[in-house]
Amino acid sequence: MVKNIFDLTGRVALVTGGNGGIGFGIARGLAGAGAAVAIAGRNENKNRAALQRLTAAGLPAIALKCDVTDPAAVAKMVDTTVDKLGGLNILVNNAGTNRRTDEPQNLTLDDWQLVVDTNLTSLHVVSAAAFPHLKSNGGKVINIGSMMSVLATGYAPAYAASKGGVVQYSKSLAVGWARHDIQVNCILPGWVRTDMTEGFLKMFPERYQVIVDRTPAGRWAEPQELAGTAIYLASRASDFVTGAAIPVDGGYLVQ
């Protein structure tokens, strides 16, 4: 009998920003495929609500409070995951934020620094903390980029710059960690209905239909639709895939 190469039974996953939106959709998918999952986020109320949804579905999970811009908090997050779940095999760097402006030059330096620290610098901090555990048995790192890793926008310059950096940093990890049997890849989500994009629609309500019209699939995605690609990248099915950036965007980047 051929074993299911997508089965994550016995694996432990840590998902930053796993208490909502894309992160929660991925965390639920990984848990459904058999992994024990730690979801981490700054908001304890959201953490508790997300954990309740997972455990109510019979999925193995814990929730941890963590600000990924704080190296001490990150170290504690990783150590607690290993202590409570018995190891760490899969890391999903999903935590992110955005600050928008009418024109690029009007974005404040504080907003720029917040976005870059959260979206890009945290990848290095979290990945470095997780590395000793990931290399023990071979590991998987999944970094969440964006369409803005490839495209440009005038209203979110720090976000676009940080997400472009996510892809390049992922390639560096892929090269540097290949000898440790760690695969590092990116998912580039398209337009997904989340709290973050709700804020975008409040600022630019006319953009909703423009985006739908450009997307060949003819709609926005739901967060759980990112889970299949994450399961693939977390599983043995992707053992010879590293340094890739995979759009999950309903075809938005095609045209």
Q: Which of 222, 251, 238 is nearest to 29 (CA)?
A: 222
pLDDT (0 to 100) of residue 153: 85
pLDDT (0 to 100) of residue 223: 92
pLDDT (0 to 100) of residue 198: 74
- Whether residue 159 lies in the annotated active site: yes
- The per-residue DSSP string of 46-110 comes to HHHHHHHHHHHTT--EEEEE--TT-HHHHHHHHHHHHHHHS---EEEE--------SSGGGS-HH
Angle at CA of residue 99, ends 51 and 165, nearest 5°:
85
CATH architecture of 12-192+224-250: 3-Layer(aba) Sandwich (3.40)
pLDDT (0 to 100) of residue 179: 97
**In the numeric block, which tokens belong to residue 31?**
């848990």
Phi-psi region of 250 (alpha: psi -120 to 50; beta: other; left: phi over 0): left
pLDDT (0 to 100) of residue 1: 40
pTM of the model: 0.94
pLDDT (0 to 100) of residue 8: 97
Residues of the chain with pLDDT under 70: 1-2, 199-201, 203
The residue whose two tokens read 């402006």 is 101
pLDDT (0 to 100) of residue 88: 98
Set 159, 169, 232, 252: catalytic member? 159
The residue whose two tokens read 């939106």 is 21
Q: What residue segments make up the domains of the chain, in order of their start?
A: 12-192+224-250
